[in-house]
Structure 1
Amino acid sequence: MTSPISAYRSLAARIDAATPPQRDRAIDALRAFAILGVVLGHWLVTALVLDSGKLKDSSPLQHLPQLDWVSWLFQTLAVFFLVGGHVAARSYAAAQARGTGYGTWLAARFARLTRPVAAVLVVWAVVAGALLLSGVSTATVVMLVKLVLSPLWFLLVFAALTAATPLVRKLHPLWPLAVVLYVDVARFGFHQPGWLGWINLPAGWLVPYCLGAAWAREGMSSRRTGWVLLLGGAVATVLLVRYAGYPASMVGVPGQGISNLNPPTLASVTFGLAQCGAALLLLGPLRRWLARPGAWALVALVNLSAMTIFLWHQTAMIATTALGLLIAGGPVVGLHTPPDTTAWVLARLLWLPAFATVLAGCWAAFRHYEQPRRPRSARRRSHVVRFSHGAKSDARSTDGHKVAT
């Protein structure tokens, strides 16, 4: 009987052998890092507190502000937009070279988004209806649905920037950065209406997206650029937090007057620039590490299910919380109790493997919605995972992966 380790080594060897030598594996590693950072961040800073028979959302950052720095480790969206801009710009340039029209190119980019999102919406429509019919309060159901669907704002912004790639791929990142600066000066310096901040929703994420496009266009991966972005962004962020009144947390905190993320502020954008600089500096070490088949297989497999992981991670946390309440018959530390002590934080860390286990179950049930539909005969004939960077020869992938398992 083959051991799990031997089976994984065999799979890793097949994935490694099927990967074209020109593929930049570090790009995939950065994307995987960004997705997993968001997942872990949500699991660590989101709490469902049992209060008078109802579940309410809370956050340890409300009660333990000394943990604000944790959000600096797990708010990794800027890296995702950096990679997204880089891959989309390369893909569109390759499509132009082949004579592929914009509509065909965009349909291929969007193909991997629609079915996984539709699956989440359908499942949660059924779950929400069932909860309401079983007597769960409307406020609790709304809160749960909001937790599941709120991360979709990121996909909407990403889809909009992807659609605008032909227009923005030559835009200098300083232009959207200037927009963010002027909007924040108007909001906080001259007390203009708060709704102006929503201009920063596209402008703020356009900064790393344009940076990624510039990277694709100019090969902007030198260590000097990386250090300038890392140090400049980090210093600017610290100064904005220390002297300009921006929150230290890089994620939204319930009850906090200003959020760095919703909508993005200048502090979140400068922090994102620092992350982008760190990403560029990590390219070399990542490429050397990913030359190992075992390491590369892990990154490749995460990328193949990135949408599934992202879309279902909040559901996994909610399901674990509900099961814990049913099994224990009352509040459990780290799941249902107020996140106001270090004991809660330690308990939540111990619950992370349970969240991951339930997420694995969600992955097994719904990963097929992320993969392309193929004829049954083709599924029987295909036994390898193939990867190709850049533009796609068909609409089976949107991020550089062509999959056949």
Structure 2
Amino acid sequence: MERDTYPAVSAATAAQRDPAIDLVRFTCLLLVVACHCMMVSPVLHRDGTVTTHNVLMEEGWFVPVAWALMIVPLFFVLGGVTGLQSWRRLRARGGNGFDFAQVRLLRLIRPAMALLAVMWSGLWIALLLGVHPQVIQLMTAGAAMPLWFLAAYLTAQLSVPLMARFHERAPMLTFGGLVALIITVDSLRGALPVLAFANMVFVWCAVQQLGFLMADGFFEHRSRAWLVGVIVSSNLLLGLVTGVAVYPGNMVVNINPPNLCLLLLGISQTATLQLLQRGIRWIAGVRWIQSIIAVAGRRSMTVYLWHLPLLVGMSGLLLLTEIAKPWAGTAEWWWARIPVFLAVVTLLVPVVLIFGRLEKRPTAASHARGPSRAAVVTAVVVVLIPVADAAFNGLTLALLGGGAACFALAVLLLGRVPTPVLQPPQGKVADLRKAPLSTLPEAGLRANLET
């Protein structure tokens, strides 16, 4: 099978850290926090129960806005860029797919383990203090939204070594095969609804492949007219399939389980990112922006996992106070979203300071040995079981505690990540030096390549 040909990015360019990735990821994260602040609106009733209204979803103008601001595919595109670069770097040092899985698992599940443990403990204390069980379940369900993303993102990242092999042999054929699988699943989901969840793998891996193509310079060597044509074409096709009711027009409805619409959005967003990259890099070069991103960008998973539980908890506590609360959907309520957003960001600061260190890449002495392959595989299974259960059946207080225990067991199984000591054979080193393409980062440029 021959590798598809397209212009390769130069080694010097590929080795440089792309500041646009950090800035775009940070901006998308702020947008996610802001959107969630516009969704939560709890109401406390006389019997102690609480109901919530998803105000944003009830607004008629939200459907076209969600089309433009559904940035979840962009997270997977960026994850594809950084994931491929990290894998190639690890492989050049003598690492293998199990080493990659170990690093990725630890970086993603350690912050999640802390969140689940703290939530489980806090909600059990609230239950013992007499808080209505319905309120407890409502707050528990609030953690399910970050977990579905964790499940999808983790699955896509664990596939990087395998998908990178396919990509290096035939990138376009690999991408086309994933598109065919997506369409097949979408065509059969009416007869077999459970089959739709297979696209949690196919859709996000396909979007991640767009990041692979971006990392290898495929989009960089396309003209502005070509990029604009891709943006227009993908959105026209998206409008066609939603206009004839093949898919819902609401992109939030399309996201879980995902379908072809999310891939079309991912294609449009990748081309848009490439089109705007020069301006984004200029903005990312501003010193004070660099300082913010240098701190917050390396704690992105902590921010993502904690912001919604903090928002739900803060909203619940406000119900117990005498502070006047505007009716959901009124002008006063919309203006109140500004202080709510600022309050959540303020609460995130100490959380990031306390738990953000769990995102740091753990290393051990160079002579240390990593876990066995069986331990890595077992850790993957142990992590995915509670996450998949939450995605399919919803999160309960018992599952919250069970998930924390499973994540802790996985961390124990994985242990600390040994510093790679294996070097590629001498012939391979020579081949790597001659290769026209290298996306391995220079020393000290790791921050946005391992997230």
Contact 1:41 1:74 in 2 (8 A): no
Alpha-carbon displacement from aligned partner over 1:332-390 (angstroms, at most 9, x marks no partner): 12xxx4x3445433332442212222222322332233335699xxxxxxxxxxxxx85
Report the count of equivalent residues.
354
Contact 1:112 1:398 in 2 (8 A): no
Q: Distance in 2 between matches of 1:110 and 1:297?
A: 28
Contact 1:316 1:362 in 2 (8 A): no
- Structure 1 residues 347, 184: CA separation in 2 closer, same or farther (over 3 Å shift)? same
Unaligned residue ranges in structure 1 (runs of 5+): 1-19, 252-258, 376-388
Which secondary structure does the structure 2 equivalent of 1:65 belong to? coil
Contact 1:147 1:314 in 2 (8 A): yes
Q: Distance in 2 between matches of 1:176 and 1:50?
A: 46
Percent identity of the aligned residues? 25
Contact 1:82 1:209 in 2 (8 A): yes
Could you say which residue in structure 1 is the equivalent of 2:214?
Answer: 215
Q: Distance in 2 between matches of 1:89 and 1:99?
A: 15
- Structure 1 residues 372, 90: CA separation in 2 closer, same or farther (over 3 Å shift)? closer
Q: Does 1:76 align with 2:71?
A: yes
Contact 2:77 2:266 in 1 (8 A): no
Unaligned residue ranges in structure 2 (runs of 5+): 1-13, 365-438
Q: Distance in 2 between matches of 1:63 and 1:24?
A: 38
What is the correspondence of 1:6-405 to structure 2 with a 5 Å cutoff? 22-52=16-46, 53-169=48-164, 170=167, 171=171, 172-187=174-189, 191-221=190-220, 222=222, 223-224=224-225, 226-244=227-245, 246-251=247-252, 259-328=253-322, 332-333=325-326, 337=327, 339-371=328-360, 390=440, 399-400=448-449
- Structure 1 residues 41, 157: CA separation in 2 closer, same or farther (over 3 Å shift)? same
* TM-align CA RMSD: 2.9
Per-residue deviation, 1:275: 1.8
Q: Distance in 2 between matches of 1:348 and 1:30?
A: 23
- Structure 1 residues 140, 229: CA separation in 2 closer, same or farther (over 3 Å shift)? farther
Alpha-carbon displacement from aligned partner over 1:128-181 (angstroms, at most 9, x marks no partner): 211221222222212211212331121222222212112212153232222222
Per-residue deviation, 1:314: 0.7
Contact 1:92 1:391 in 2 (8 A): no
- Structure 1 residues 271, 343: CA separation in 2 closer, same or farther (over 3 Å shift)? farther
Contact 2:310 2:344 in 1 (8 A): yes
Contact 2:89 2:441 in 1 (8 A): yes
- Structure 1 residues 206, 248: CA separation in 2 closer, same or farther (over 3 Å shift)? same
| TM-score normalised according to structure 1 size | 0.78
- Structure 1 residues 173, 225: CA separation in 2 closer, same or farther (over 3 Å shift)? farther
Contact 2:86 2:450 in 1 (8 A): no
Q: Distance in 2 between matches of 1:51 and 1:62?
A: 22
Could you say which residue in structure 1 is the equivalent of 2:406?
Answer: none
Contact 1:95 1:105 in 2 (8 A): yes
4+ aligned runs moved over 6 Å, structure 1: 391-394
Could you say which residue in structure 1 is the equivalent of 2:408?
Answer: none
- Structure 1 residues 113, 209: CA separation in 2 closer, same or farther (over 3 Å shift)? same
Alpha-carbon displacement from aligned partner over 1:97-128 (angstroms, at most 9, x marks no partner): 23223322332233322221111011011012
Per-residue deviation, 1:211: 0.8
Which secondary structure does the structure 2 equivalent of 1:151 belong to? helix
Which secondary structure does the structure 1 equivalent of 2:285 belong to? coil
- Structure 1 residues 277, 47: CA separation in 2 closer, same or farther (over 3 Å shift)? farther
| TM-score normalised according to structure 2 size | 0.71
Which secondary structure does the structure 2 equivalent of 1:49 belong to? strand
